[in-house]
Amino acid sequence: MANPLLQVKNLKTYFRTEAGVAKAVDGVDFEVMPGEVLGIVGESGSGKSVTSLSIMQLIPNPPGEIVDGNIIFEGTDLLAAYRQKDYDVIRKIRGNKISMIFQEPMTSLNPVFTIGDQVAESLVHHKGLNPKEARDHAVEMLELVGIPSARERINEYPHQFSGGMRQRVMIAMALSCDPSLLIADEPTTALDVTIQAQILELMLEVKAKTSNAAILLITHDMAVIAETCHRVVVMYCGRIQEIADVKTIFHSPQHPYTQGLLASLPKPGQKVRRLSTIEGIVPSLFNLPKGCSFCTRCNQKLDKCETVPPEMVETSPGHFVRCHLAKPMKSA
Amino acid sequence: MYSYFIRRFLLMIPTFIGITFLCFTVTRFVPGGPVEQAVLRYQQAMAMSGEGGGGTSGSDMEQGQISEEMMESLKAIYGFDKPFYEAYAIWLWRVLHFDLGTSDTYSRPVWDLIKEKFPISIIFGLSGFTLSYMICIPLGVWKAVKHGSGFDTGSSIMVFIAYSIPGWTAGVLLLMLLGGHAYLDIVPSGGKDSGFINETSKLAMFLQEGAQVSDIPETIRKEFPKLGDNQTINASHPAFKHVPAEKRFKLKTGNHSDLSFIGRTLDTMWHMILPVFCYVLGMFASSTVLMKNSLMENLGQDYVRTAFAKGLSERVVIFKHALRNSLIPIATGLGHMLSIILAGSYLIEKVFNINGFGLLGYDSLIARDYPVTLGILVIGSMLKLFGNIVSDFLYCLIDPRIRFS
Ligand SMILES: Nc1ncnc2c1ncn2[C@@H]1O[C@H](COP(=O)(O)OP(=O)(O)O)[C@@H](O)[C@H]1O
Ligand SMILES: [Mg+2]
């Protein structure tokens, strides 16, 4: 098996607020293999964005802080450099080896610079291209993401683009330096339903045409996962609850939370009267249950769930579940 | 966009008429106007001459009385003989022909007075404005970057103090302390330059060469009939070059105009220190806080996160991406600069006795010299209205969102 591109080990990112310490990400472990599309799914507030921003070291500090863990990217421990306050390491990687697309296309571009300037900026910065070369490359990238008459539109400003077009620009910008990892944090959530699928498809298409970057796709939508991902990480309350490849997740989900997420999906051919949702509300991060954080909403709860936090167990090769009901696979 | 600016220009007309009509009407109806003042002066003069002549008390009353005829002619002199709307129309018509009337107190065309005083205010105000931007913008930026640090807190205390003291109040205080009244004598006590420089003054070393008028050759002297024998002329005087070299000498005393160029500059700067400080003080708090808040707000924006995500250094993110956006509200303030300078100058010019536009307006109000008051209103409101348009224009220049919609 190839070496993982990115290893996240025991990542803990806390926010110190007036109400107390919010353990937004509390011991997260996963790996991203080169070229794969890994989904992170979970309800709003489960710590998906904080996980991705921690990888990029973009957590606003204060109030946030990465308090523990290792993030090993292409053999380098990014957090070791971070702890030594050596920010050059991550600066050389951001926008170059790892780039990121955000949820809000309307506000993620600088309103006072042209699209061309903003796409060309990272090329000049990381690849040392001269402005002319960078501009030409920017035009190519914009054509690649399907912006019509890119050579003219490069001189326009973000407000002259629609939301979908801006997200295309963000994709062009993110992939312009041929990164090996692209983090997309809910890239389609803010868009019209009609163009959501287009943008996802485009991302995969451009990925295949360029350096075949691995993609870490964050979403709260299981349908998006089904269409795009190879493997899935299910997050809840700052912890990973289940990891498996996409087929396994959809065919034999082990964690009651994953099962709940899947039950809320409309099934093809099925006439839906009312989509089932997971009962109850996400507990406050300041007031998490002592045991399993999902026990307040779980429909298969055991007595010990309330007091004993479950460990991660491997139920079949590559399938990990954090649940007292899960049976570890028999070691050969 | 052009149509927008044309519309803005056209809108200036009713606004201008509204402002001036209102003020004109007020001058008509407030008590103590020029006619009443003239009557008062007349009565005082009569009373004095009455006393001097030792007239009877009975005739005093009659002498103090003003005949109907006289009243009418007084009203005609000050233009109060017509109903106010008619008088306003006449006034407006003249203004449209650049005729602002004649000052009652100076007996000179108002337009000339304003032209004379305006540059003085502009020099003081502009220096204050420029200096305060030069201090407040970097300070605000630095406070935003170092938000929450000791530097930020310390400078915030300064901002609070500056905010609570109006510029002219500080002027009064500093003049008392430093202007030679009570404690120290290191700044002039007012005015825009030195009226008299004596031998002990430090400025005396910058005095030019001069010559006695009597030493000017007779033929040349005829061209300057105003010069008296006992007077001296300085090197800038056109007759000076005709004075034989051995008769020239270095002046020991003199006034501002007898100084060399460097001396004049130093003299002006010396007079400007306190007033300009007061201008800066007046703008310091609001400009600094505006700059800081504007940058702070932009630093929290998503596009700043995008810029960081590109791998740009903190310096580039702050000074290229965030600063450009946060300067938008500051730059649009430039359009209001002139009117802010003038508005701020009334009291400061009064305190420092600077003979500028503000002091002219202040004095005209006290003396009920309405032609001057209204003339200043015309210029002031025109500047304000143009300033608004300039602000909008600057906004368009900096912010593409406005430019293209
Ligand atoms: N800037 C912040 N300040 C305080 N708490 C934060 C901040 N950002 C995130 N959090 C905490 O982290 C939790 C997880 O947030 P996030 O990762 O954005 O969730 P999501 O899975 O929806 O992306 C939030 O519920 C919140 O308590
Ligand atoms: Mg999120």
Between the alpha carbon of residue B331 and those of residues A51, B101, B155, B303, the distances in Å are 39, 37, 23, 21
DSSP B242: G
In chain B, the percentage of residues whose pLDDT exceeds 90 is 20
Structure-block tokens of residue A190: 């803010």
The model's pTM: 0.81
CA torsion sign for A108, A114, A117, A120 is positive
Choose between B52 and A62: higher pLDDT. Answer: A62
- When pLDDT is averaged across residues B42-66 and rounded to a whole number, the result is 61
Closest approach of chain B CAs to the CA of A115, in angstroms?
A: 12
* Maximum mean pLDDT: which of B24-38, B231-245, B310-324, B330-344: B310-324
At a CB cut-off of 8 Å and minimum separation 6, what does B220 contact? B239, B242
Q: What is the pLDDT of residues B267-277, one digit of tens each?
A: 888 888 888 88
**Substitution target from B294, B295, B296, B310 for chain A, most A beta carbons within 10 A:** B310
Alpha carbon nearest to ligand 1 atom 4, residue: A15
Q: Which one, of B306, B297, B388, B385, lies nearest residue B14 by Cα?
A: B385
Q: Does B401 touch chain A (CB under 8 A)?
A: yes
- Test B400 with A111 for CB contact under 8 angstroms: yes
Strands A37-41 and A231-236: parallel
Gap from CA of B327 to ligand 1 centroid (Å): 31
Give the pLDDT score at B59.
Answer: 47
Supply φ then ψ for residue A6, to 5 degrees: -135, 130
CB contact under 8 A, B312 and A125: yes
Distance from CA of A239 to the nearest CA of B (A): 25
The CA distances from residue B346 to B112, B362, B386, in Å, are: 19, 6, 20
Determine, for residues A111 and B401 on separate chains, whether the beta-carbon distance falls below 8 Å: yes
The list of chain A residues with pLDDT below 50 reads none
Q: Is the pLDDT of residue B37 over 90?
A: no
Tell me how long chain A is.
Answer: 332
Tokens 């008509």 label which residue?
Answer: B28
pLDDT at B168 over 50: yes
* Rounded CA separation A42/A103 (Å): 15
pLDDT at position B225, please? 75
**Using the beta-carbon criterion (under 8 Å), do B401 and A121 form an inter-chain contact?**
no
In chain B, pLDDT over 70 holds for what percent of residues?
Answer: 95
What are the tens digits of pLDDT across the range B277-325? 888 888 888 889 999 999 999 999 999 999 999 999 999 999 999 998 9
Name the helix (H) or strand (E) containing B284. Answer: helix B261-299
Return the best residue to mutate from A15, A17, A65, A67 for the ligand 1 pocket (most ligand atoms within 8 A of CB).
A15
Place of tokens 């006393």: B51
The pLDDT of residue A14 is 94
Write the ipTM.
0.91
Q: Return the pLDDT at B60.
A: 47
